[in-house]
Amino acid sequence: MSDVLTISDTLTVEGGRPLSGEITVRGAKNLVSKAMVAALLGETPSELLNVPDIRDVEVVSGLLSIHGVGVEHDHEAGILRLDPSNVESAHVADIDAHAGSSRIPILFCGPLLHRLGEAFIPDLGGCRIGDRPIDYHLNILREFGAIVDKQPSGIALSAPRGLKGTVIDLPYPSVGATEQTLLTAVRAEGRTELRGAATEPEIMDLIAVLQKMGAIISVDTDRTIRIDGVDRLVGFRHRSLADRIEAASWASAALATGGDILVKGATQPEMMTFLNTFRKVGGAFDVLDDGIRFWHQGGDLTPIVLETGVHPGFMTDWQQPLVVALTQAEGLSIVHETVYENRFGFTEALRGMGANIQVYRDCLGGSSCRFGQRNFFHSAVISGRTPLTAADIEVPDLRGGFSHLIAALAADGTSNVRGIQLINRGYEHFMDKLEALGAAATLKA
């Protein structure tokens, strides 16, 4: 990787310059990592294309390796070859060491139970954006017949009688829980019906991967997914859909800095909702054959009322970078976060840079959500336009961190952004991209 960063890395950013130029996004982090897990289910090797050079891919590669999967990664071509012929149990300490802060290990459970009859997962990390429990996952695995044993070092699972198809009703259309069900049901005995499923494009792409492997899966318009279990699955060859979160992050960076960015590789269908919002705020875009160009048209940006939600709603991961651009709109914007209860922590640093953002426990903006009567600051009111000034900031999580970076790029003066290595989890070669876009950003050792 060209962005090998260490734990103490700090980025010094001289802000106030529009980001302009051309960059490329490759496959979606949130599909690639799941397709890699799906490869465990095949009897023959799989090949995944359009794979980005990001830390999360390294983490899952490490986890697959310690479970006996052969992993070959051509970084430049973006091709991963995964050979699951010799899947084996891994040592607890190795799993712990490789899992890092990732939540992906929970998705290994179904495939490992099918392949080995047992699985173990350590305490899970992931971005600090709420409680992020795994109760749905464990309940689903129990429904299929797994025995879940919570131990001090993690969770041990076994399936002495195999896994059997079942009916699952999700309390919320969780992405991970839907993936858990898919990855477990495809090889379970009989039919599984999943009600209240998430239908994000990354999930539909995972279904395409599983279908290539031999699975039988149908998706209804009412969020019901039916899976007929099969006895064997083979390897797949698949090109990942584009990373719509990364694409939208650069689009927001163009808006916040008054710039003009051609995001090659970005695709329109998965970004429709973002594009509508981008246009309402006053941003311009042009869908080209090989990507999408995003730019600030000059003049004032328009404030908006926005609610995040599950697909086809406005993604929670698009919210944070866009909020930075909203600090530059003339008037009051309202953002209601309905996916995670605690995803406005990043606004504190923006306030320190001069943004006028207040967070509220109430559901603002029209509809009420499941966090409404509880003690979570999940609505934000952004009052603009406020100039941003440079500051020393600490990256809190992946998307919040990218937002801080955008704020530093838009601000007057020199900012120091600490803990920048977290951004590497989901934004490939972001230092090279910043350079290509004319940013004045240098790494301090």
Q: Which residues are catalytic?
A: 127
Minimum distance of ligand EPZ from residue 248's CB (angstroms): 12
Query: Smaller CB distance to ligand EPZ: residue 36 or 301?
Result: 36
Return the residue matching tokens 């060491």. Answer: 97
Phi first, then psi: give them for residue 130, nearest 5 degrees.
135, -175
Query: Smaller CB distance to ligand EPZ: residue 116 or 219?
Result: 219
Query: Smaller CB distance to ligand EPZ: residue 135 or 392?
Result: 135
Minimum distance of ligand EPZ from residue 28's CB (angstroms): 9
DSSP state of 360: E
Site string for ligand EPZ, 159-198 (x = CB under 6 A): -------------x-xxxx--------------------x
Q: Which residues contact 221 (CB under 8 A, 6 or more apart)?
A: none
Query: Smaller CB distance to ligand EPZ: residue 301 or 395?
Result: 395
Task: Taking the CA atoms of 296, 356, 11 and 25 in sequence, report the sign of the dihedral they define.
Answer: negative
Minimum distance of ligand EPZ from residue 16's CB (angstroms): 27
Two tokens, residue 387: 């100039």
**Contact flag: residue 136 with ligand EPZ (CB under 6 A):** yes
One of 36, 134, 227, 406 touching ligand EPZ (CB under 6 A) = 134
β-sheet bridge partners, residue 379: 336, 360
Minimum distance of ligand EPZ from residue 178's CB (angstroms): 8
DSSP state of 216: E
Two tokens, residue 84: 């699951």
Helix 29-38 and helix 55-66, axial crossing angle in degrees, nearest 10: 10
**Contact flag: residue 426 with ligand EPZ (CB under 6 A):** yes
d(Cα 407, Cα 138) in Å, to the nearest integer?
A: 39
Minimum distance of ligand EPZ from residue 201's CB (angstroms): 11
**Contact flag: residue 123 with ligand EPZ (CB under 6 A):** no
Query: Smaller CB distance to ligand EPZ: residue 199 or 328?
Result: 199
Minimum distance of ligand EPZ from residue 414's CB (angstroms): 28
d(Cα 318, Cα 246) in Å, to the nearest integer?
A: 9
**Contact flag: residue 398 with ligand EPZ (CB under 6 A):** yes
Cis preceding-peptide flag for 55 (omega within 30 of 0): no
One of 108, 274, 340, 346 touching ligand EPZ (CB under 6 A) = 340
One of 26, 103, 114, 378 touching ligand EPZ (CB under 6 A) = 103
- Give the count of residues interacting with ligand EPZ (CB under 6 A): 28
Return the residue matching tokens 């797949």. Answer: 236
β-sheet bridge partners, residue 293: 262, 286
Two tokens, residue 354: 């001069």
**Which of 68-76, 126-134, 218-226, 352-360 is the region at the interface with ligand EPZ (rule: CB under 6 A)?**
126-134
Please answer whether residues 333 and 307 qualify as being in contact, where contact means their C-beta atoms are separated by less than 8 angstroms. Answer: no
Task: Taking the CA atoms of 275, 368, 325 and 199 in sequence, report the sign of the dihedral they define.
Answer: negative
Minimum distance of ligand EPZ from residue 249's CB (angstroms): 10
Two tokens, residue 311: 């697909």
Query: Smaller CB distance to ligand EPZ: residue 262 or 263?
Result: 263
One of 67, 244, 293, 399 touching ligand EPZ (CB under 6 A) = 399
Scan residues 292-321 and list those touching ligand EPZ (CB under 6 A). 315-317
**Contact flag: residue 130 with ligand EPZ (CB under 6 A):** yes
With CB atoms as reference, the residue minimizing the distance to ligand EPZ is 176
One of 74, 135, 290, 432 touching ligand EPZ (CB under 6 A) = 135
Query: Smaller CB distance to ligand EPZ: residue 20 or 30?
Result: 30
d(Cα 222, Cα 433) in Å, to the nearest integer?
A: 40
d(Cα 278, Cα 342) in Å, to the nearest integer?
A: 24
Please answer whether residues 270 and 277 qualify as being in contact, where contact means their C-beta atoms are separated by less than 8 angstroms. Answer: no
Q: Which residues contact 386 (CB under 8 A, 6 or more apart)?
A: 327, 328, 354, 355, 356
Query: Which H or E run contains 35?
Result: helix 29-38
Query: Smaller CB distance to ligand EPZ: residue 172 or 276?
Result: 172
Which residues are near ligand EPZ by CB under 6 A?
29-30, 33, 103, 127, 130-137, 172, 174-177, 198, 245, 315-317, 339-340, 398-399, 426
